[in-house]
Amino acid sequence: MGFDVSLPRVSLQALDAFERVARTGSIQAAAAEMRLSISSISHQIARLEDQIGTVLFDRTTRPFVLTREGRQALQHLSKGLHHIRQAADATVISGLLQARSLRIGMIDEFESNVTPALATFLAKEMPRATLSIRNILSHQAGDLLQKGAIDLAVVADSNDDDMGLARLSLMRDPFVLALPDGHNDTPADIVRGRAQLDFLRFNPDHLIGKQIAAHLARNQIDLLRRLDFDSVQSIMAIIAGGAGWSIITPIGFVRSQRFAQNTRLHPLPIPAFSRSIALVARDTIDIPTQKAVAALLRQIMWSEITQPACTAYPWLTKPMDISELSFE
């Protein structure tokens, strides 16, 4: 059987979605890998089937199984998609090779996963360039960039839009409820202060502490101010010990994996909110370098943060979906 899969009519993203669903047998898993919503993947698969005029999956089974026509289509498409992905990786590297010097500021939340992976890649792919990576706080980024102390910065919800700095979105980091494993009170009772657990706050001087406090205030929640900490690891350690609860993000959860076994994440029982992680740059840094670093960081953040978090808690797939973020 032949297939008329012409690229002007069939998007590469739809072909990528088909290949991932075929490999995993799951639309949910493919959505997590591609950082898209489940409905988006379902729509793309259905549209692809309509365009090529055949059913690719047997949807009566779980996991999904390829039909005979689906197996034939996969055989033809897999090699081509592999070459396209290699070309995309090469484009990222070629963009970085143009830089002779690169000074990057990274928020310290990434020091155990994203920053080491970024440093390893850049040191290998830019052997003749001068490279510097330093830990910063988000609110320091604008001043450091304007003074010329760094070229690029990875920040969380900074005020860079007001400072005329270029901004490229990297990931969405939703706030979630973190409880001791096996705790019996409902999330609603806990957040409303009706349970016998202490609320563990982030330092109110830190941006993340201010964001959480502001959202609780918007929802008319006033909790006892007794315990606050600089570090998500300290908060997670207390939760794992059964002595408190908190509002954290997947970045903090993945950073504190040693305590994950004794904690459980839940969606917030109040309106959802999240923060965005972005790359901001000095106006002297060329666009190809900015986009190359942003593309590299998205790949690293996907493998180091999004994928582990969504594997542990599949319901995080939609809150962490970045398909609606602007990458320009």
pTM: 0.71
Using CA atoms, how far residue 49 sits from 56, 208, 297, in Å, is 6, 45, 33
Instruction: Pick the closest to residue 319 from 266, 280, 278, 279 (CA basis).
Output: 266
Contacts of 237 (CB under 8 A, 6+ apart): 256, 259
When pLDDT is averaged across residues 210-239 and rounded to a whole number, the result is 92
Q: Range of 151's domain?
A: 99-172+275-316
Q: What is the mean pLDDT of residues 201-214?
A: 91
Q: Pick the residue with more confidence: 324 or 244?
A: 244
Q: Mean pLDDT check: name the lowest of 61-70, 84-93, 184-193.
A: 84-93
Residues 281, 164, single domain; the answer is yes
Please report which confidence band the pLDDT of residue 95 belongs to, taking 50, 70 and 90 as the band edges.
low
Residue 202 φ/ψ, nearest 5 degrees: -80, 155
Same domain membership, residue 168 and residue 180: no
Same domain, 212 and 255: yes
On the question of pLDDT at 3 being above 60, the answer is no
- Among 246, 266, 286, the domain boundary falls at 266
Q: Give the pLDDT of residue 164.
A: 62
152 and 186 co-located in one domain = no
**Separation of alpha carbons 151 and 260, rounded Å:** 35
Same domain, 146 and 191: no
Residues 104 and 167 in one domain: yes
End-of-domain residue from the set 94, 115, 137: 94
Confidence of residue 291 (pLDDT cuts 50, 70, 90): confident
User: Residue 298 is part of a domain; what is its CATH number?
Assistant: 3.40.190.10
Please determine, for residue 267, whether its predicted confidence score (pLDDT) is greater than 90.
Answer: yes
What pLDDT digit, counting tens, does each position of 297-326 carry? 998 998 899 989 988 998 998 888 764 444
Cβ contacts of 90 within 8 Å, gap of 6 or more: none
Give a yes or no: residue 232 inside a domain: yes
Give the per-residue pLDDT at 5: 42
Domains identified in the chain, total number: 3
Q: Residue 214 — very low, low, confident or very high, per pLDDT cuts 50/70/90?
A: very high
